[in-house]
Chain A
Amino acid sequence: MNGSKSRPEPAKGSRPRASKGPRPEPAEGSRPRLSTAPRRSFVASYLNDIPRSGIRDFFDIVSARKDVISLGIGEPDFVTPWRIREASITALDRGATTYTSNRGLIELRRQIARYLGQAFDVAYDPENEILITVGVSEALDLAMRAILEPGDEVMYHEPCFVSYNPEIRFAHGVPVPVVTRRENGFRLTRPMLEEKVSPRTKALLLSFPTNPTGATLTREDVEGIAAFAQAHDILVITDEIYSELTYEGERVSIASLPGMKERTIFLHGFSKSWAMTGFRLGYACAPVELSEAMMKIHQYIMMCAPILSQKAAIEALKSNVDTDEMRASYEHRRNFICAGLNEAGIPCHVPKGAFYVFPYVGDYGLTSKDFALRLLDEENVACVPGSAFGASGEGFLRCSYSTDLEAIKEAVTRMARFVARLRKG
């Protein structure tokens, strides 16, 4: 009873009194008229200048149709290998349902550090240079926001992943596309960059193997780009999400070249090579100062990546039996679709990485969008028009071979029939 004695009595009259009597009616005529009040648009105006993704437009059209053979799929056609799913299930079983540290589970960061050292010849400290993110998508956003002042320019090669341009603009940067061409396998070389660099250039965004062209770089190309970055004191952001899906040639990460780690943000994730798109897991590696800057944003907007996905990723990095098998399967399908399209007279360079071919279809007097729409309409085959990946993708078609071989066979047959008809006019 001691406690109640010392508890202060509420001061008299301090409680709001329930009002007595009828609630006062607002005077006639002053009642708000909800339907007619003028209302401005609440959407930030800069968003109006950013178009909807061309992929979304096309998705809506394709979704409305039945029995489509789709070469429009930008994710692996494999279900995540069982050992990885099993690790996630076991973690759930054991009650792994909490937040993790902002940077992500230390065991995962250690695994990543080990893996990157071995596979990419780069050294990152798991304590303060690796940050686990919700997909490379989040990592890209963090990188842009961490480095850009309004008006800073970011160069990137095009045709490219649909998100790069908008992500730069969301961070109030200025996108500067550098056009790559079929003639040299959509590679990027130093002279192409020198043409577009300006005093406002802050960063260069690289992504090889490239979605949608499947392009890769030679060691000389990468060395040239590194020299360019150093000469102009530019930061490089390298999106390595398709790296393991390299079928030919040496795989060189720019982060591994002398003097480059200091000016590189290395992005990678589990979506493609480990067939884990739905787990939404990626990571950003960078020197401490940059890593801490990204971390600052990540801790407030995301807190951490999902723990079950992190547990799955720890298992993912422990073996490469299934990933090697998937890569071999993609390679066979790549060879098949390139041979099939070329035999059909649809010129198609042989991409060295990722799981897309990017054939040229500009000789029929149709835009790539019209070509894709007619192909869908007449043969029920869905491919993504190259223009969805930047203006320089016009004239091309992105065909994903991440679908089963029977579907690819049928799609190639139908495409051959379609272009034969177009040729006859």
Chain B
Amino acid sequence: MDELLKLLRANALESPKNLARMLNSTEGAVKAKIAEYERTGVIRGYQAVVNTDRLDVDLVRAVIEIKVTPEREGGFNRLAERVSKFAEVESVWLMSGTYDLLAVVTGRNLKEVAFFVSEKLATINGILSTATHFMLKTYKSNGVLMVEEQPDERLKVSP
């Protein structure tokens, strides 16, 4: 991956000026490159990594393993895209192995998610079965530890 993308993935809020300094480039060149990534769809958005465990909100998240019958034309794509369009669905991947699609679904409570799966997902033509696993606690997400390590303080001045 290109160095600029790596830096943005680590901190999307870094200013183009600082990015340019780090990459021995110019502010203009960095801005142009970012614009190009946005235009060509390499960069699809910028989001905060939120530790929802720290919030006093009603939010449950589940991963759902989905088995489907691939269609003669379009394979898994049409079904996967259909699943992806629901607002309740956060992420969807096509998987190798014993099931086909993996979806992350959110809701306000267990019931809401269960309802979504049984009423909306399971009833889609072509979906053979689902298995729902509720997530209990987040330790690491998007490469970020939810609780920062607290190493002993380094000496302020050392050889």
Contact = CB atoms under 8 A, between A and B. Distances in A.
B17 to A, nearest CB: 10
Interface string B116-159: 00000000000000000000000000000000010100111111
B3 interface: yes
What 10 A-B pairs come out closest when comparing CB atoms?
A: A72-B157, A332-B22, A339-B21, A59-B157, A74-B158, A70-B156, A336-B21, A336-B22, A62-B156, A74-B159
Interface in A179-236: 211
Contacts of A328: 3, 6
Contacts of B158: 55, 59, 72-75
A335 B23 contact: yes
A79 B157 contact: no
B136 to A, nearest CB: 23
A72 B7 CA distance: 25
Interface in A312-334: 328, 332-333
B156 A63 contact: yes
A79 B159 contact: no
Contact of B151 (A68, A79, A340): A79
Contacts of B109: none
A333 B18 contact: no
A340 B156 CA distance: 22
Contact of B157 (A333, A335, A384): A384
B151 to A, nearest CB: 5
A422 B151 CA distance: 37
B24 interface: yes
A77 B158 CA distance: 12
Interface of A: 53, 55, 58-59, 62-63, 68, 70, 72-75, 77, 79, 161-163, 211, 328, 332-333, 335-336, 339-340, 382, 384, 405, 409
Nearest to A339: B21
27 contacts: A53-B159, A55-B159, A58-B157, A59-B156, A59-B157, A59-B158, A62-B157, A63-B156, A63-B157, A72-B157, A73-B154, A73-B156, A73-B158, A74-B157, A75-B155, A79-B149, A161-B159, A328-B3, A328-B6, A332-B7, A332-B23, A333-B22, A335-B22, A335-B23, A335-B24, A339-B21, A382-B156
Contacts of B7: 332
A5 to B, nearest CB: 64
Contacts of A79: 149, 151
A80 to B, nearest CB: 9
Given A79-B149, A79-B151, A332-B7, A409 B18 contact: yes
A79 B150 CA distance: 10
A213 to B, nearest CB: 14
A211 B158 CA distance: 12
Interface string B79-112: 0000000000000000000000000000000000
Contacts of B159: 53, 55, 74, 161-163, 211
A363 to B, nearest CB: 24
Given A75-B154, A77-B154, A332-B22, 6 more contacts: A59-B155, A74-B158, A332-B23, A335-B24, A336-B18, A382-B156
B156 to A, nearest CB: 5
A215 to B, nearest CB: 17
Contact of A340 (B3, B6, B21, B154): B21
Contacts of A59: 155-158
Contacts of B24: 335, 339
Nearest to A211: B159
A75 B18 CA distance: 24
Most chain A beta carbons < 10 A, residue from B6, B24, B151: B24
Interface string B31-67: 0000000000000000000000000000000000000
B158 to A, nearest CB: 4
A77 B154 CA distance: 8
B22 A72 contact: no
A55 B155 CA distance: 11
Given A79-B149, A328-B3, A332-B7, A73 B155 contact: yes
B6 to A, nearest CB: 7
Contacts of B6: 328
A333 B23 CA distance: 9
A133 B17 CA distance: 45
Interface string B1-31: 0010011000000000010011110000000
B156 A68 contact: yes
A333 B18 CA distance: 10
Contacts of A211: 159
A74 B159 CA distance: 5
A339 B22 CA distance: 8
Most chain A beta carbons < 10 A, residue from B3, B21, B151: B21
